[in-house]
């Protein structure tokens, strides 16, 4: 597939057009940001590792009946993806209290939840990606009720599928951010699934195995990304 002009560059990825308008090339960068890009840095080989981690998890989910934008890997840092019309909504699925949920609810990180929590955020960097609900989504015309029902069902199903997959590899899925988009009248999972957008904790030690190590200056950032790659892709 021929790589053509750059059509979008985000904090962690670049999207390129191809000769087929239905497909894009997604390139993973080593750039790292936190706190709405107020903190910036580089995580060596992050793009390479996230591309392979995401590819593995997308293929697993496809095999379980979840439609994704993933088509195939093209190289160490690139994958071919379907061109989605991305919904401007970040979907966060939470299994255990961590991050902003801990701050909002005044609960210690690691507190178990009696049930899974589903949250929605408006994808607007200039506003700091504020939390919204179904009423905001409907009022702003961000997605239809039918689309959001599909998005919610898919996000919860993905959570159910990924938890045992990761637990077998010694990783606990604390929470995860997903993005969805429209493709030929269907809702598909897009973006990536990696330590950038998911919180993974070691099953035995509760060590953080994700971008929180960069956010909080915990050290061993590159080593942790490599360890997640080893457990997910090489195990």
Please name every residue paired with 121 in a beta bridge, in sequence order, or none if there are none: 90, 131
pLDDT tens for residues 137-171? 999 999 999 999 999 999 999 999 999 999 999 99
**pLDDT the model gives residue 1:** 81
**Domain coordinates of the chain in residue numbers?**
6-82, 85-220
| pLDDT confidence tier of residue 235, bands split at 50, 70 and 90 | low
Task: Yes or no: say if 148 and 133 are a contact pair by the CB < 8 Å rule.
Answer: no
Q: What is the CATH number of domain 6-82?
A: 3.30.200.20
Superfamily of domain 85-220: ATP-grasp fold, B domain (3.30.470.20)
Question: Would 6-82 and 85-220 be classified into the same CATH topology?
Answer: no
With a cut of 80, say whether residue 36 has pLDDT above it: no
Two tokens, residue 105: 């609810």
3-state secondary structure of 138: helix
**Number of neighbouring beta carbons within 10 Å of residue 232:** 24
R_g of the chain computed on alpha carbons = 17
Rounded CA-CA distance 140/138 in Å is: 6
**Tokens encoding 162:** 């990924």
Look up the pTM and report it: 0.95
pLDDT tens per residue, range 159-203: 999 999 999 999 999 999 999 999 999 999 999 999 999 999 999
pLDDT for the residue numbered 72: 98
């Amino acid at each position: 597939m021929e790589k053509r002009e750059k059509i979008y560059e985000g904090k962690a990825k670049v999207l390129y057009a191809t000769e087929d308008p239905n497909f894009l090339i997604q390139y993973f960068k080593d750039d790292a940001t936190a706190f709405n890009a107020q903190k910036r840095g580089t995580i060596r080989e992050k793009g390479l590792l996230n591309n392979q981690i995401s590819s593995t998890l997308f293929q697993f989910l496809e095999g379980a009946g979840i439609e994704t934008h993933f088509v195939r890997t093209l190289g160490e840092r690139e994958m071919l993806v379907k061109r989605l019309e991305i919904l401007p909504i970040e979907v966060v699925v939470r299994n255990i209290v961590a991050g902003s949920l801990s701050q909002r609810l005044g609960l210690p990180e690691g507190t178990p939840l009696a049930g899974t929590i589903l949250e929605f955020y408006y994808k607007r960097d200039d506003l700091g990606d504020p939390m919204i609900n179904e009423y905001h989504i409907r009022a702003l015309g961000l997605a239809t009720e039918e689309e959001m029902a599909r998005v919610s069902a898919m996000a919860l199903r993905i959570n159910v599928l990924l938890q045992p997959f990761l637990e077998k590899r010694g990783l606990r899925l604390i929470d995860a951010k997903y993005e969805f988009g429209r493709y030929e009248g269907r809702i598909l999972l897009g973006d990536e699934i990696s330590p950038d957008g998911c919180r993974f904790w070691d099953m035995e030690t509760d060590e953080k195995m994700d971008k929180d190590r960069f956010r909080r200056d915990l050290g061993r950032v590159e080593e942790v990304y490599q360890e997640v790659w080893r457990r997910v892709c090489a195990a």
